[in-house]
Amino acid sequence: MTGAPVTLLAATLVFAACLALAVVLVLTKVGRETRRRRRAALVAPLRPHLIAVSAGEDEGPARSTLVAAEGPSRRAVTGAIADLLGKVRGLPAEHLVEVLDRHGALESAMADLRHSSPVRRAQAAQLLGVSRVPDAVDSLVVALQDKAGEVRSSAAYALGLIGDPRAAAPLLAAVGAPGAGLPAGLAADALLGMGVGISGALGDALSDPDPRTRTVAAHVCGIGSFTRALPCLRERLALDPDLTVRETCAQALGSIGRADDVEVLARHTEASQPLPLRRVCAEALGQLGEDAAVSTLAALLRGPDPRLAEIAATSLVRLGPCGRAALDAASDERPVQSALTVASLQGVLR
């Protein structure tokens, strides 16, 4: 069988590896504590000044002290200000950005967008965003294609804060990039910070080949009231191969649709459609608030699915007198009674 020296060697190796790992474990803990203390120690003398500037209780001297910081404390101050900018707004925020600018931190952040460390690239993007540097838009758009996910996310977040509508199209494209893509929710948040100038980009994105991009675009259209996209939303609701996209379009039509959208939504409450979509459309009809929806909704009250029937009943409650009349005609149906009970508990019915 196996020779004694070999086995002893193996056993010793395993034992040594365990010991080494235990040491690494302890060092991890010690290292984190030490780094935290060192950072705190660097910022500590300047902290009262940082707080004074952030609180807007500074006539200038505190700012000058911060500007005068050198070396490692200057880097620590930059980090601290980046954090603070996420917490305060108004004049104090402008003063903090001024300190960053005088430190040259914004300039080096622009350069850091091409740094080899992804953490540095992401932090640079963040800093440019919270400082709302308009000149950074082009570089941040490039960073949307970074190979590291956190850099893409930081760039999107920064672009949302800066709010330049030119970034909308590349942002939407980044959502549908192969692989993980840009987180859709983050992209939607950022797009909503870009104002009305993005409606063209949203319209185009509704016919993007990737369903994630289409979902984000449809959602933002609905929340941000981009009515120019209505024709695209209708088309996507009818034809999109992805159920999530169709549901999102139906919700958007419910919040920003016109009178002619009653017919579009009504068509998708029919029995040939997937049940989840029918339920979403029945709810959207109530939200749309057009009396023309009454006959469609009334027909759903007696269907086999109690959920769909109750959603239709709730939508009729929302439609006001016309809808109530339809409900009275079907008051023997349990879904109708249930919807009315809930509505009266919520105080919707007088």
Partner 1 sequence: MRELLEPLRGVVVWLMDVTAVPVLAYFVLINTSYLVLILLGALDFRSYLRGRKTVVDTLGGELTPGVSVIVPAHNEEAGIVTSVKALLSLRYPGHEVVVVDDGSTDATFARLREAFDLVELPRDVPQDIPVRARVLGQYVPRDGRTRLIVVRKENSGRSEASNVGVNAATEPLVAMIDADSILEPDALLRVAKPFADDPTRVIATGGTIRPVNGCRVVAGRIVSVGMPRPWMPRIQVVEYLRAFLVGRTGWSRFGGLILISGAFGLYRRDTFVEAGGLDPDSIGEDFELVLRMHKLMREAKADYRVEFVPEPVSWTEVPSTFKVLRNQRRRWHRGLWETLWQYRGMLFRPRYGKVGLVALPYYWLFELVAPLLELYGIVIVPIALVLDAINVPFALLFLALAYGYAIFVTLAAMTLEEWAFHRHSRWRDLGVGLVCSVLENFGFRQLTVWWRLEGWWASLRGKKQVWGVMTRTGFNEEAS
Partner 2 sequence: MEVSTPEGTRVLVADDDADIRELVEFKLSQAGYAVQAVPDGLAAWEAFEANPPQLAVLDVMMPGLSGFDVLRKIRESDHPRVPVLMLSAKSRDSDVDTGFAIGADDYVIKPFSPRELLHRVNTMLSRARA
CA–CA distances in Å: residue 214 to residues 132, 157, 163, 189, 282? 28, 19, 21, 15, 22
Contact 282, 301 (CB under 8 A): no
Question: In whole angstroms, what separates CA 330 from the centre of its chain?
Answer: 42
By CB under 8 A, residue 84 contacts partner 2: yes
By CB under 8 A, residue 348 contacts partner 2: no
Residue 214 Cβ, how far from partner 1 at the closest point, in Å? Answer: 8
Question: In whole angstroms, what separates CA 189 from the centre of its chain?
Answer: 4
By CB under 8 A, residue 181 contacts partner 1: yes
By CB under 8 A, residue 300 contacts partner 1: no
By CB under 8 A, residue 176 contacts partner 2: no
> Which H/E stretch holds residue 266?
helix 261-267
Q: How far apart are alpha carbons 307 and 338 in whole angstroms?
A: 10
Contact 182, 156 (CB under 8 A): yes
Pick the binder of partner 1 from 84, 137, 192, 292 (CB under 8 A): 192
Q: How far apart are alpha carbons 240 and 235 in whole angstroms?
A: 8
Which of partner 2, partner 1, none does residue 90 bind to, with CB < 5 to 8 Å depending on kind?
partner 2
By CB under 8 A, residue 52 contacts partner 2: yes
Q: In sequence order, what are the residues at sequence separation of 6 or more whose Cβ sits closer than 8 angstroms to the Cβ of residue 326?
A: 294, 295, 297, 298, 301, 316
Residue 341 Cβ, how far from partner 1 at the closest point, in Å? Answer: 6
By CB under 8 A, residue 305 contacts partner 1: yes
Interface residues for partner 1 in 231-290 (CB under 8 A)? Answer: 242-245, 248, 275-276
Pick the binder of partner 2 from 32, 37, 87, 302 (CB under 8 A): 87
By CB under 8 A, residue 142 contacts partner 2: no
Q: How far apart are alpha carbons 43 and 59 in whole angstroms?
A: 21
User: Helix or strand or coil: residue 74?
Assistant: helix
The window from 77-85, 107-115, 256-264, 266-274 that contacts partner 2 (CB under 8 A) reads 77-85
- Total binding residues toward partner 2, as defined by CB under 8 A: 19
Pick the binder of partner 1 from 65, 131, 215, 296 (CB under 8 A): 215
By CB under 8 A, residue 40 contacts partner 1: no
Residue 348 Cβ, how far from partner 2 at the closest point, in Å? Answer: 16
The window from 24-32, 97-105, 195-203, 264-272 that contacts partner 1 (CB under 8 A) reads 24-32
The window from 7-15, 44-52, 218-226, 249-257 that contacts partner 2 (CB under 8 A) reads 44-52
Joined together, the tokens standing for residue 185 give 């929710």
Q: How far apart are alpha carbons 77 and 320 in whole angstroms?
A: 59
Pick the binder of partner 2 from 90, 178, 179, 321 (CB under 8 A): 90
Contact 289, 317 (CB under 8 A): no
Which residues would be at the binding site for partner 2 (CB under 8 A)?
47, 51-52, 54-57, 80, 83-93
